[in-house]
Chain A
Amino acid sequence: MSTTAPTHDRTGTREVREAVVVRFAGDSGDGMQLTGSQFTLETALAGLDLTTFPDYPAEIRAPVGTTFGVSAFQIHFGSVDVKTAGDEIDVLVAMNPAALKVNLGNLRLGGIIVADSGSFGDRNLAKAGYDANPLEDNTLAPYQVIRLDVTQLTMNAVESFGLSKKEALRCRNMWALGLMLWMYDRDRTATTSWLAKKFASRETLAQANIAAINAGHAYGETAELSGNLTGYRVADADLPPGEYRTISGTEALVWGLVSGLRSAGIPRLVFGSYPITPASPVLHSLATMRDLGVITFQAEDEIAAVCSAIGASYGGALGVTSSSGPGIALKTEAIGLAVSAELPLIILNMQRAGPSTGLPTKTEQSDLFQAVYGRNGDTPVAVLAAATSTDCFEVGREAVRLATKYMTPVILLSDGYLANAAEPWLLPDLDGLETWPVRFHTDPEGFEPFRRDPVTLARPWAVPGTPGLMHRIGGIEKQDGTGHISYDPDNHQTMTDVRAAKIAGIADDVPPQAVALGEDTGRLAVVGWGSTFGPINKGVERARAKGQAVSHVHLRYLNPFPANLGTLLGNFERILVPEMNNGQLVTMLRSTFLVPAEPLTKVTGQPFKISEIEAAIDAALESQP
């Protein structure tokens, strides 16, 4: 179904905003993720640019009303280019005291708080650690506070449907959504039709939820007339023409893999995986794609997951596995087998905060060393990272291309933020994309399992079932060419060298490193990788607007680095490397290129703010190298 952006004829009466950050926050049972998703849908359909940031606790149902049970969904939308989920919150919708307490620190001074006063009773206040009701003292004096008894207003709105009290209270989020849709002049149709479908088997619930939305919306209209509330207008964004949908990093990655599979001409993808936060949604998505040649296998553990993918690649399918840091650690030995046996394999790592179990639902970029170096022996693999949700599509395709062309494992680094964050995607023509058909080896004449392509150094992909090519491979060192077991010292040197050369050679098969923003020479290069793209790009943009000679370089290829990267970095006086880890890429750049790269690290489980990048640029330019 395709819809065009609704046009609004509301002239002059609303205050205009260029971009706004709204954060819906409540208990993990309050439906904040659904509320945020629907607000996102209506915003996207209206033609605005946007980025979302679902931020939820690891506990599925934490004790009601506690600070650690707060679930939030942040959306940054605007008529201008939106690249991050927003530094500061403009509007905080707080469904209970805990939600207010946890999120207040990120609300800009003068920002709006919409608080459900009906949930600010003594019990909830105590659970949130408030001695006094912040809605009734001076705590919130620096902000505009809209106190509404959303609880009671929702009960009134759904009264006629005969719901239980529990069911009626579950409509609170829709009432709040209705109010916010009014506040930003959004349509309600997509949400109401979604509700009708979601509750198709319980029509009363659908009607009650729709009534709650309409009541919230109507409340806004009435209050505006009486001057108690202000509505805003955010104009359409100046997006390039074409057809759009919103897409999360996970969804984009899945489509990238499927599209890559098609480009490689391989009939089957076998996805072996084990549930882990925040990677499980990849398994959920691929599980619905059997008709496209995708077989999913929920393995008994992380090791079986990667091993099933290796077995599948050995059998002529594309083997893919996914996990997050702790699970990747368990797969390590098997990845070494795929390096030794020289089989295609894609390993997706949705990074999360570590070490050990760490913070499962919070984002981090601290598995770069693990990806590049974290195996026994000299065991090189290709490592790629996605920069944005939509970039996950391109990187997913690239992983397929490299894995099959070079007969190698490819580790694709995403993270918890990218996996969940959504943005508008200018839909590509998938039929018009480049293809790189795989040729399975079939000719017995002169066949040797480790006789290499002279250019790529890849060995032939000869799969069981092919007459005349029967051979044995394994993790023991193999004689170059024949693949027979070999303990010959010189051969081991040769094979170690050739495995390294094969991966290093990929550098000549990828685009030269481009500059994302700015000139290819200057005083400062800000070099990033992965999901820090948005804040770095906006930070550099602001610095450049101030006249600073700063450029943004963002790496997709982390092993090997693009061939020109050393030269490019040499063109800058200083290099700043913001990372959500304790300084990993910066160490790699320093050791590889002997450049004086400096770290900017953050491991709070939250993405960088633009202002943090901007401040670090100022500091770097003000200080002497």
Chain B
Amino acid sequence: MTTSTLPLAPKDFASDQEVRWCPGCGDYAILKALQKTLADLEARPESTVFVSGIGCSSRFPYYMSTYGFHTIHGRAPAIATGLKLANPDLDVWVITGDGDGFSIGGNHLLHVLRRNVDLQIVLFNNEIYGLTKGQVSPTSRVGTKSPTSPRGSVAHPLNPVAVALGAGARFVGRAIDIDQKRLIGVLTAAQQHRGASFVEIFQNCVVYNDNVFADFTDRATATDTQLHVEHGKPMRYGADGNRGLRIKPGTLQLESIVVGADGITDDDVLVHDQTDKTLAGLLGALKPPEFPEVLGVLYDNPAESYESQIVPKETADQHTPLNDLIRAGRTWSVT
């Protein structure tokens, strides 16, 4: 494709390269969702760039018809930052994984969020190293058996939402790879957020960590194990829609409640406020089975982005007389 006549269809965002993920990998679903997101947003391929590090997820740019840069392990946020400093008008997506983003590249992820560079950072979390054949990752649950932890891992996983919020992220969203409609909703909100946005996608690795998220992705029980938040709406879930969250009286903790039981009414259900960072932190920490997995836009509270404060709006005057500048200060003449 050499021209980009709008409107473009999702397939127009696919490159001519053969996709080489394992059959059944969750990455396929994410690829489709992002292609549709860009089509829906009427994005321009020439102004869109995907930057990735190393790992299964990081092959992503090759499969998009946009500009793409498959870089080195963990460094995509730093490269994307430089790209935005060169040209703030580009729409830049960083594609990373739990190993790439939180292990080898953890430092860069913290700082790109803290600086609030206007990027979408999409982290494919499969809780395992896939490309290197199945070692534990920083998000692997305690007890994960792998070639490097044959007796089960002992280190505690980090919580991506907690880390992102702690680093100062001003947009945090969460979605499931195969839940295309809601995934597109979160990706769209992330793209429209000015500043750094962080999206964690629960991505199933069929080879090395199959069904690790089944406790909340299993369709049979999903209504009881997933809570999809929307700004300004009560946080309700459950097969009958009668379950919800509230602040446990006398504490700073959330509790799961059933409307109609023990005198609990609709008014007791907490309403989601996506600008409330404390709430986002509480929601991000909830895990099944005691709680639902909270999905959607947990936090969205924009502030001025880094590059908009650093890069002048106008390109520099190429005619500023350098001769005058090198002569500023003390000079003397020899005759």
Partner of B90, one of A242, A259, A465, A473: A465
Give the residues from 290 to 335 in chain B that come closer than 8 angstroms, CB to CB, to chain A: 310-312, 315-318, 320-323, 325-327, 329-335
Known: A267-B315, A299-B78, A465-B46. A473 touches B70 (CB 8 A): yes
Chain B contact residues, majority secondary structure: mixed
Q: Which residue of B lies closest to A474 (CB)?
A: B70
B82 near A311 (CB under 8 angstroms)? yes
Q: In angstroms, how far is the closest chain A Cβ from the Cβ of B77?
A: 8
Q: In angstroms, how far is the closest chain B Cβ from the Cβ of A297?
A: 6
Selected interface stretch from B27-35, B59-67, B261-269: B59-67
Known: A47-B332, A466-B46. A268 touches B315 (CB 8 A): yes
Q: Which residues of A contact B107 (CB under 8 A)?
A: 300-301, 304
Task: Report Cα–Cα, A309/B73, bound state, in Å.
Answer: 16
A465 near B87 (CB under 8 angstroms)? yes
Q: Which residues of A contact B327 (CB under 8 A)?
A: 2, 243, 245, 427
Q: Which residues of B contact A319 (CB under 8 A)?
A: 82, 86
A468 near B70 (CB under 8 angstroms)? no
Task: Report Cα–Cα, A45/B331, bound state, in Å.
Answer: 7
Q: Which residues of A contact B45 (CB under 8 A)?
A: 470
Partner of B78, one of A304, A317, A469: A304
Q: In angstroms, how far is the closest chain A Cβ from the Cβ of B116?
A: 14
Known: A270-B85, A464-B49, A472-B67. A3 touches B323 (CB 8 A): no
Task: Report Cα–Cα, A44/B323, bound state, in Å.
Answer: 20
A244 near B333 (CB under 8 angstroms)? yes
Q: Which residue of B lies closest to A45 (CB)?
A: B332
Q: Mark B57-96, 1 if CB is under 8 A from A, else 0.
A: 0000110111111111001011111111111011000000
B68 near A473 (CB under 8 angstroms)? yes
Q: Which residue of A lies closest to B316 (CB)?
A: A293
Say if the beta carbon of A458 comes within 8 Å of chain B: no
Q: Which residues of A contact B334 (CB under 8 A)?
A: 5, 47, 239-242, 244
Say if the beta carbon of B235 comes within 8 Å of chain A: no
Task: Report Cα–Cα, A122/B178, bound state, in Å.
Answer: 80
Say if the beta carbon of B201 comes within 8 Å of chain A: no
Selected interface stretch from A173-181, A222-230, A333-341: A333-341
A474 near B80 (CB under 8 angstroms)? no
Q: Which residues of B contact A317 (CB under 8 A)?
A: 85-87
Known: A311-B51, A430-B323, A484-B17. A472 touches B79 (CB 8 A): no
B326 near A314 (CB under 8 angstroms)? no
Partner of A45, one of B46, B75, B330: B330
A334 near B72 (CB under 8 angstroms)? yes
Q: Which residues of B contact A20 (CB under 8 A)?
A: none
Known: A290-B312, A308-B81. A474 touches B61 (CB 8 A): yes
Q: Which residues of A contact B67 (CB under 8 A)?
A: 464, 470-472
A475 near B70 (CB under 8 angstroms)? yes
Q: Which residues of A contact B329 (CB under 8 A)?
A: 1, 245
B331 near A245 (CB under 8 angstroms)? yes
B47 near A292 (CB under 8 angstroms)? no
Q: In angstroms, how far is the closest chain B Cβ from the Cβ of A580?
A: 30
The CB with the most chain B CB atoms within 10 A, among A41, A45, A299, is that of: A299
Known: A1-B330, A427-B326, A472-B69. A308 touches B85 (CB 8 A): yes
Selected interface stretch from B1-9, B135-143, B183-191, B270-278: B1-9
Q: What is the size, in residues, of chain B's interface with A at 8 Å between Cβ atoms?
A: 61
Task: Report Cα–Cα, A410/B316, bound state, in Å.
Answer: 25
Q: Which residues of A contact B62 (CB under 8 A)?
A: 472, 474, 485
Task: Report Cα–Cα, A239/B84, bound state, in Å.
Answer: 47
A470 near B66 (CB under 8 angstroms)? yes
Q: Which residues of A contact B193 (CB under 8 A)?
A: none
Say if the beta carbon of A210 comes within 8 Å of chain B: no
Say if the beta carbon of B111 comes within 8 Å of chain A: yes
Give the residues from 570 to 622 in chain A that come closer than 8 angstroms, CB to CB, to chain B: none
A465 near B47 (CB under 8 angstroms)? yes
Say if the beta carbon of A524 comes within 8 Å of chain B: no
Q: Which residues of B contact A341 (CB under 8 A)?
A: 69
Task: Report Cα–Cα, A242/B4, bound state, in Å.
Answer: 57
| Chain A interface residue number, banded | 35 or more
Q: Which residue of A lies closest to B51 (CB)?
A: A311
Q: Which residues of B contact A163 (CB under 8 A)?
A: none
Task: Report Cα–Cα, A334/B74, bound state, in Å.
Answer: 11
A44 near B46 (CB under 8 angstroms)? no
The CB with the most chain B CB atoms within 10 A, among A244, A291, A472, is that of: A472
Q: Which residues of A contact B72 (CB under 8 A)?
A: 307, 333-334, 336-337, 475
Say if the beta carbon of A258 comes within 8 Å of chain B: yes
B332 near A262 (CB under 8 angstroms)? no
Q: Which residues of B contact A5 (CB under 8 A)?
A: 332-334
Q: In angstroms, how far is the closest chain A Cβ from the Cβ of B81?
A: 5
The CB with the most chain B CB atoms within 10 A, among A241, A297, A305, is that of: A297
Q: Mark B1-23, 1 if CB is under 8 A from A, else 0.
A: 11110000000000101000000
B82 near A297 (CB under 8 angstroms)? yes
Task: Report Cα–Cα, A16/B82, bound state, in Å.
Answer: 57
A311 near B317 (CB under 8 angstroms)? no
Task: Report Cα–Cα, A242/B327, bound state, in Å.
Answer: 12
Task: Report Cα–Cα, A268/B82, bound state, in Å.
Answer: 12
Q: Mark B129-167, 1 if CB is under 8 A from A, else 0.
A: 000000000000000000000000000000000000000
Say if the beta carbon of A444 comes within 8 Å of chain B: yes
Known: A3-B330, A258-B322. A312 touches B78 (CB 8 A): no
Task: Report Cα–Cα, A47/B331, bound state, in Å.
Answer: 10
Q: Which residue of A lies closest to B68 (CB)?
A: A472
Q: In angstroms, how far is the closest chain A Cβ from the Cβ of B15?
A: 7
Task: Report Cα–Cα, A484/B61, bound state, in Å.
Answer: 12
Task: Report Cα–Cα, A345/B320, bound state, in Å.
Answer: 25
Q: In angstroms, how far is the closest chain B Cβ from the Cβ of A203?
A: 23
Task: Report Cα–Cα, A316/B332, bound state, in Å.
Answer: 39
Say if the beta carbon of A276 comes within 8 Å of chain B: no
Q: Which residues of B contact A267 (CB under 8 A)?
A: 315-316, 318
Partner of A244, one of B47, B90, B316, B332: B332
Say if the beta carbon of A77 comes within 8 Å of chain B: no
Task: Report Cα–Cα, A466/B45, bound state, in Å.
Answer: 10
Task: Report Cα–Cα, A475/B72, bound state, in Å.
Answer: 7
Partner of A464, one of B87, B111, B310: B87
23 pairs across A/B with beta carbons < 8 Å? A2-B327, A5-B333, A239-B334, A241-B335, A245-B327, A262-B318, A270-B86, A292-B316, A297-B81, A304-B111, A308-B85, A311-B81, A311-B84, A314-B82, A315-B84, A315-B85, A315-B87, A317-B87, A337-B72, A464-B47, A465-B87, A473-B69, A475-B72
Q: Which 4 A-B pairs have the closest CB atoms?
A: A311-B82, A474-B70, A315-B86, A293-B316
Given contacts A292-B316, A315-B87, A319-B86, 8 further A-B pairs with CB under 8 A are: A242-B334, A244-B332, A268-B86, A299-B78, A301-B107, A309-B82, A311-B51, A471-B67
Question: What residues make up the interface of B, taking CB atoms closer than 8 Å to A?
Answer: 1-4, 15, 17, 45-47, 49, 51, 61-62, 64-72, 75, 77-87, 89-90, 107-108, 110-111, 310-312, 315-318, 320-323, 325-327, 329-335
